[in-house]
Amino acid sequence: MEGVRVIVKNNLALVGLIILVPMFFCAFFAPLIVPHNPVEPDLKNILSPPSWTHPFGTDTLGRDVFSRVLYGSRISLLVGFVSVGIATMIGIFLGSISGYYGGMLDEIIMRFVDLMMCFPTFFLILAVIALLEPSIWNIMIVIGLTSWMGIARLVRAEILSIKGKEFVLAAKAQAFSEKKIIFRHVLPNAITPVYVVATLGIGGAILTESALSFLGIGVQPPTPSWGNILTQAKDNIEVAWWLSLYPGLAIFLTVMGYNLLGEGLRDIFDPRRRYQS
Protein backbone atom coordinates (compact mmCIF):
# COMPACT_ATOMS: atom_id res chain seq x y z
CA MET A 1 0.00 0.00 0.00
CA GLU A 2 2.88 2.35 0.72
CA GLY A 3 4.17 1.88 -2.83
CA VAL A 4 0.75 2.68 -4.28
CA ARG A 5 0.53 5.90 -2.23
CA VAL A 6 3.97 6.98 -3.45
CA ILE A 7 3.00 6.36 -7.09
CA VAL A 8 -0.31 8.21 -6.71
CA LYS A 9 1.51 11.27 -5.35
CA ASN A 10 3.61 11.47 -8.55
CA ASN A 11 1.67 13.20 -11.34
CA LEU A 12 3.35 11.37 -14.23
CA ALA A 13 2.94 7.95 -12.66
CA LEU A 14 -0.66 8.73 -11.72
CA VAL A 15 -1.60 9.73 -15.28
CA GLY A 16 0.11 6.60 -16.57
CA LEU A 17 -1.92 4.44 -14.19
CA ILE A 18 -5.16 6.22 -15.14
CA ILE A 19 -4.46 5.28 -18.76
CA LEU A 20 -3.23 1.73 -18.15
CA VAL A 21 -5.70 0.45 -15.54
CA PRO A 22 -8.70 0.63 -17.93
CA MET A 23 -6.51 -0.99 -20.61
CA PHE A 24 -5.76 -3.90 -18.28
CA PHE A 25 -9.42 -4.17 -17.36
CA CYS A 26 -10.53 -4.27 -21.00
CA ALA A 27 -7.83 -6.78 -21.94
CA PHE A 28 -8.57 -9.12 -19.04
CA PHE A 29 -12.36 -9.03 -19.44
CA ALA A 30 -12.41 -8.76 -23.24
CA PRO A 31 -14.34 -12.05 -23.70
CA LEU A 32 -17.12 -10.62 -21.50
CA ILE A 33 -17.09 -7.10 -22.95
CA VAL A 34 -16.92 -7.63 -26.71
CA PRO A 35 -20.33 -7.40 -28.41
CA HIS A 36 -19.34 -9.52 -31.44
CA ASN A 37 -17.05 -12.39 -32.37
CA PRO A 38 -13.76 -10.67 -33.38
CA VAL A 39 -12.90 -13.23 -36.08
CA GLU A 40 -16.32 -14.01 -37.54
CA PRO A 41 -16.97 -12.26 -40.91
CA ASP A 42 -20.24 -10.48 -41.63
CA LEU A 43 -20.37 -9.84 -45.37
CA LYS A 44 -23.54 -7.75 -45.00
CA ASN A 45 -21.68 -5.08 -42.97
CA ILE A 46 -18.40 -4.63 -44.84
CA LEU A 47 -16.72 -1.30 -44.00
CA SER A 48 -19.70 0.00 -42.04
CA PRO A 49 -18.98 3.31 -40.25
CA PRO A 50 -19.22 3.59 -36.45
CA SER A 51 -22.72 3.05 -35.12
CA TRP A 52 -24.53 1.87 -32.00
CA THR A 53 -24.21 -1.71 -33.21
CA HIS A 54 -20.54 -1.34 -34.17
CA PRO A 55 -19.03 1.51 -32.07
CA PHE A 56 -15.71 1.43 -33.98
CA GLY A 57 -17.20 0.39 -37.33
CA THR A 58 -16.37 -2.80 -39.27
CA ASP A 59 -13.44 -3.92 -41.41
CA THR A 60 -13.16 -5.31 -44.95
CA LEU A 61 -14.73 -8.61 -43.86
CA GLY A 62 -17.48 -7.04 -41.79
CA ARG A 63 -15.83 -7.90 -38.46
CA ASP A 64 -16.47 -5.59 -35.52
CA VAL A 65 -13.43 -3.32 -35.04
CA PHE A 66 -14.29 -2.59 -31.40
CA SER A 67 -14.15 -6.31 -30.58
CA ARG A 68 -10.92 -6.73 -32.52
CA VAL A 69 -9.27 -3.76 -30.80
CA LEU A 70 -10.18 -5.16 -27.38
CA TYR A 71 -8.84 -8.60 -28.24
CA GLY A 72 -5.78 -6.96 -29.80
CA SER A 73 -5.02 -5.40 -26.42
CA ARG A 74 -4.59 -8.91 -24.99
CA ILE A 75 -2.00 -9.73 -27.65
CA SER A 76 -0.12 -6.46 -27.19
CA LEU A 77 0.03 -6.69 -23.40
CA LEU A 78 1.09 -10.35 -23.57
CA VAL A 79 3.89 -9.54 -26.00
CA GLY A 80 5.00 -6.57 -23.90
CA PHE A 81 5.19 -8.41 -20.59
CA VAL A 82 6.65 -11.70 -21.84
CA SER A 83 9.30 -10.17 -24.11
CA VAL A 84 10.38 -7.64 -21.46
CA GLY A 85 10.40 -10.45 -18.88
CA ILE A 86 12.79 -12.45 -21.06
CA ALA A 87 15.00 -9.41 -21.65
CA THR A 88 15.01 -8.54 -17.94
CA MET A 89 16.04 -12.04 -16.84
CA ILE A 90 18.87 -12.18 -19.36
CA GLY A 91 20.03 -8.64 -18.58
CA ILE A 92 19.99 -9.16 -14.80
CA PHE A 93 21.84 -12.48 -15.07
CA LEU A 94 24.62 -11.26 -17.38
CA GLY A 95 24.88 -7.85 -15.70
CA SER A 96 25.18 -9.44 -12.25
CA ILE A 97 27.93 -11.83 -13.31
CA SER A 98 29.80 -9.12 -15.20
CA GLY A 99 29.63 -6.54 -12.41
CA TYR A 100 30.32 -8.86 -9.48
CA TYR A 101 33.17 -10.97 -10.86
CA GLY A 102 34.80 -8.40 -13.17
CA GLY A 103 38.08 -9.22 -14.86
CA MET A 104 38.18 -11.18 -18.11
CA LEU A 105 34.60 -12.38 -17.71
CA ASP A 106 33.45 -8.77 -17.47
CA GLU A 107 35.40 -7.89 -20.62
CA ILE A 108 33.90 -10.77 -22.61
CA ILE A 109 30.32 -10.02 -21.58
CA MET A 110 30.63 -6.27 -22.16
CA ARG A 111 32.21 -6.74 -25.58
CA PHE A 112 29.35 -9.06 -26.47
CA VAL A 113 26.91 -6.39 -25.29
CA ASP A 114 28.71 -3.80 -27.43
CA LEU A 115 28.52 -6.15 -30.41
CA MET A 116 24.78 -6.69 -29.95
CA MET A 117 24.19 -2.95 -29.61
CA CYS A 118 25.93 -2.30 -32.93
CA PHE A 119 23.08 -3.96 -34.82
CA PRO A 120 19.91 -1.92 -35.42
CA THR A 121 17.49 -3.79 -33.16
CA PHE A 122 14.41 -3.59 -35.36
CA PHE A 123 16.24 -4.78 -38.47
CA LEU A 124 17.82 -7.59 -36.47
CA ILE A 125 14.32 -8.64 -35.35
CA LEU A 126 13.12 -8.44 -38.95
CA ALA A 127 15.95 -10.68 -40.12
CA VAL A 128 15.34 -13.30 -37.45
CA ILE A 129 11.54 -13.30 -37.84
CA ALA A 130 11.95 -13.64 -41.61
CA LEU A 131 13.82 -16.93 -41.03
CA LEU A 132 11.23 -18.26 -38.58
CA GLU A 133 7.55 -19.02 -38.85
CA PRO A 134 5.61 -15.87 -37.91
CA SER A 135 3.87 -16.48 -34.59
CA ILE A 136 3.24 -14.62 -31.37
CA TRP A 137 5.66 -16.86 -29.44
CA ASN A 138 8.49 -16.31 -31.91
CA ILE A 139 7.87 -12.56 -31.74
CA MET A 140 8.02 -12.49 -27.94
CA ILE A 141 11.18 -14.59 -27.81
CA VAL A 142 12.98 -12.62 -30.52
CA ILE A 143 12.09 -9.23 -29.01
CA GLY A 144 13.27 -10.47 -25.60
CA LEU A 145 16.53 -11.87 -26.99
CA THR A 146 17.36 -8.60 -28.78
CA SER A 147 16.53 -6.04 -26.07
CA TRP A 148 18.39 -7.10 -22.92
CA MET A 149 21.62 -5.15 -23.47
CA GLY A 150 20.60 -1.91 -21.76
CA ILE A 151 19.43 -3.79 -18.67
CA ALA A 152 22.70 -5.73 -18.50
CA ARG A 153 24.76 -2.53 -18.61
CA LEU A 154 22.53 -0.88 -16.00
CA VAL A 155 22.72 -3.82 -13.57
CA ARG A 156 26.48 -4.07 -14.04
CA ALA A 157 26.93 -0.37 -13.25
CA GLU A 158 24.76 -0.63 -10.14
CA ILE A 159 26.62 -3.71 -8.87
CA LEU A 160 30.01 -2.07 -9.45
CA SER A 161 28.91 0.75 -7.15
CA ILE A 162 27.47 -1.62 -4.52
CA LYS A 163 29.91 -4.50 -4.23
CA GLY A 164 32.43 -2.40 -2.30
CA LYS A 165 29.89 -1.27 0.32
CA GLU A 166 30.30 -2.21 3.96
CA PHE A 167 27.36 -4.63 4.09
CA VAL A 168 28.78 -6.63 1.15
CA LEU A 169 32.24 -6.72 2.72
CA ALA A 170 30.66 -7.84 6.00
CA ALA A 171 28.86 -10.67 4.20
CA LYS A 172 32.16 -11.77 2.63
CA ALA A 173 33.87 -11.61 6.03
CA GLN A 174 31.24 -14.01 7.40
CA ALA A 175 32.15 -16.47 4.64
CA PHE A 176 28.75 -16.35 2.97
CA SER A 177 28.63 -18.12 -0.38
CA GLU A 178 28.94 -15.93 -3.46
CA LYS A 179 25.49 -17.05 -4.59
CA LYS A 180 24.00 -15.85 -1.30
CA ILE A 181 25.90 -12.56 -1.43
CA ILE A 182 24.74 -11.83 -4.98
CA PHE A 183 21.08 -12.78 -4.61
CA ARG A 184 20.47 -11.68 -1.01
CA HIS A 185 22.72 -8.64 -0.57
CA VAL A 186 23.89 -7.22 -3.91
CA LEU A 187 21.12 -7.79 -6.44
CA PRO A 188 18.17 -6.54 -4.32
CA ASN A 189 19.99 -3.22 -3.89
CA ALA A 190 20.88 -2.97 -7.59
CA ILE A 191 17.60 -3.94 -9.20
CA THR A 192 15.50 -0.84 -8.48
CA PRO A 193 16.44 1.05 -11.70
CA VAL A 194 15.49 -2.06 -13.68
CA TYR A 195 11.83 -1.43 -12.81
CA VAL A 196 12.00 1.86 -14.69
CA VAL A 197 13.74 0.39 -17.75
CA ALA A 198 11.37 -2.59 -17.85
CA THR A 199 8.30 -0.35 -17.67
CA LEU A 200 9.57 1.79 -20.53
CA GLY A 201 10.55 -1.37 -22.41
CA ILE A 202 6.99 -2.72 -22.40
CA GLY A 203 5.86 0.26 -24.45
CA GLY A 204 8.72 -0.29 -26.88
CA ALA A 205 7.88 -3.99 -27.21
CA ILE A 206 4.24 -3.17 -27.99
CA LEU A 207 5.36 -0.75 -30.70
CA THR A 208 7.70 -3.38 -32.16
CA GLU A 209 4.98 -6.05 -32.23
CA SER A 210 2.56 -3.62 -33.87
CA ALA A 211 5.13 -2.72 -36.52
CA LEU A 212 5.88 -6.39 -37.26
CA SER A 213 2.16 -7.21 -37.51
CA PHE A 214 1.65 -4.18 -39.75
CA LEU A 215 4.36 -5.51 -42.07
CA GLY A 216 2.69 -8.92 -42.15
CA ILE A 217 5.37 -10.89 -40.29
CA GLY A 218 3.93 -10.59 -36.81
CA VAL A 219 0.67 -11.94 -35.42
CA GLN A 220 -1.12 -13.60 -38.32
CA PRO A 221 -4.80 -13.12 -39.23
CA PRO A 222 -7.46 -13.92 -38.26
CA THR A 223 -6.01 -13.39 -34.75
CA PRO A 224 -6.60 -9.69 -34.08
CA SER A 225 -3.74 -7.39 -33.17
CA TRP A 226 -3.46 -3.64 -33.43
CA GLY A 227 -0.79 -3.96 -36.11
CA ASN A 228 -2.69 -6.21 -38.50
CA ILE A 229 -5.84 -4.07 -38.10
CA LEU A 230 -3.74 -1.13 -39.32
CA THR A 231 -2.61 -3.24 -42.29
CA GLN A 232 -6.18 -3.23 -43.56
CA ALA A 233 -6.47 0.47 -42.78
CA LYS A 234 -3.68 1.52 -45.16
CA ASP A 235 -5.59 0.12 -48.16
CA ASN A 236 -8.87 1.75 -47.14
CA ILE A 237 -7.73 5.00 -45.52
CA GLU A 238 -9.88 7.17 -47.84
CA VAL A 239 -13.15 5.28 -47.27
CA ALA A 240 -12.71 3.78 -43.78
CA TRP A 241 -10.94 6.27 -41.50
CA TRP A 242 -12.04 4.32 -38.41
CA LEU A 243 -9.78 1.38 -39.28
CA SER A 244 -6.69 3.51 -38.63
CA LEU A 245 -8.03 5.85 -35.94
CA TYR A 246 -9.04 3.41 -33.19
CA PRO A 247 -6.16 0.89 -33.24
CA GLY A 248 -3.72 3.77 -33.72
CA LEU A 249 -5.24 5.56 -30.73
CA ALA A 250 -5.01 2.35 -28.67
CA ILE A 251 -1.30 2.02 -29.49
CA PHE A 252 -0.67 5.70 -28.73
CA LEU A 253 -2.46 5.67 -25.38
CA THR A 254 -0.91 2.39 -24.22
CA VAL A 255 2.66 3.36 -25.11
CA MET A 256 2.17 6.84 -23.62
CA GLY A 257 0.78 5.27 -20.45
CA TYR A 258 3.84 3.07 -19.99
CA ASN A 259 6.20 5.94 -20.79
CA LEU A 260 4.51 8.22 -18.25
CA LEU A 261 4.51 5.49 -15.63
CA GLY A 262 8.19 4.78 -16.32
CA GLU A 263 9.11 8.46 -16.06
CA GLY A 264 7.14 8.72 -12.84
CA LEU A 265 8.93 5.71 -11.37
CA ARG A 266 12.24 7.28 -12.39
CA ASP A 267 11.37 10.42 -10.45
CA ILE A 268 10.27 8.35 -7.44
CA PHE A 269 13.44 6.24 -7.34
CA ASP A 270 15.75 9.18 -8.12
CA PRO A 271 14.25 12.37 -6.56
CA ARG A 272 17.32 14.38 -7.59
CA ARG A 273 15.98 14.43 -11.18
CA ARG A 274 13.18 16.74 -10.10
CA TYR A 275 15.66 19.45 -9.16
CA GLN A 276 17.91 19.19 -12.18
CA SER A 277 17.78 22.17 -14.44
180-194 pLDDT per residue, tens:
777 777 888 888 888
Residue 166 clears pLDDT 80, i.e. is over it: no
Q: How much is the pLDDT for 68? A: 93
Residue 4, CB-side half-sphere exposure with 13 Å CA sphere: 2
User: Does residue 107 fall inside a structural domain?
Assistant: yes
Q: How much is the pLDDT for 4? A: 59
Q: How much is the pLDDT for 88? A: 94
User: Among the residues of 29-135, which ranges form H helices?
Assistant: 30-33, 65-101, 103-118, 121-131
User: Does residue 22 fall inside a structural domain?
Assistant: yes
Residue 206: which of 33, 85, 116, 73 has the closest Cα?
73
Q: In the structure, what pLDDT confidence band is assigned to residue 171 with cuts at 50, 70 and 90?
A: confident
Q: How much is the pLDDT for 3? A: 55
User: Does residue 40 fall inside a structural domain?
Assistant: no
Torsion of CA 256, 257, 258, 264, to 10 degrees: 100
Tens of pLDDT, residues 23-80: 899 889 988 888 888 888 888 888 889 999 899 999 988 999 999 999 999 988 899 9
CA dist 223 and 15 (Å) reads: 31
Q: How much is the pLDDT for 65? A: 92
Residue 112 clears pLDDT 80, i.e. is over it: yes
User: Does residue 37 fall inside a structural domain?
Assistant: no
- Count of the separate structural domains present in the chain: 1
Tens of pLDDT, residues 202-228: 998 999 888 888 888 878 888 888 988
Tens of pLDDT, residues 121-131: 778 777 777 77
Cis peptide before 271, with omega less than 30 degrees from 0? no
By the 10 Å C-beta count (0-12 exposed, 13-18 middle, 19+ buried), 29 is classed as exposed
User: Does residue 46 fall inside a structural domain?
Assistant: no
CB contact at 8 A, 200 and 255? no
Tens of pLDDT, residues 232-277: 888 888 888 899 999 999 999 999 999 999 888 887 776 555 444 3
CB contact at 8 A, 266 and 196? yes
CA dist 49 and 125 (Å) reads: 36
CA dist 218 and 211 (Å) reads: 8
User: Does residue 47 fall inside a structural domain?
Assistant: no
Predicted TM-score (pTM) of this structure: 0.86
Residue 173 clears pLDDT 80, i.e. is over it: no
Domain CATH code at residue 122: 1.10.3720.10
For the chain, give the percent of residues with pLDDT over 90. Answer: 25
Average pLDDT over residues 148-154: 91
Q: How much is the pLDDT for 100? A: 84
Residue-number span of the structural domain to which 75 is assigned:
2-27+64-275
More confident residue, 251 or 118: 251
User: Does residue 43 fall inside a structural domain?
Assistant: no
User: Does residue 151 fall inside a structural domain?
Assistant: yes
More confident residue, 4 or 254: 254
Q: How much is the pLDDT for 275? A: 45
CA dist 102 and 108 (Å) reads: 10
More confident residue, 8 or 97: 97
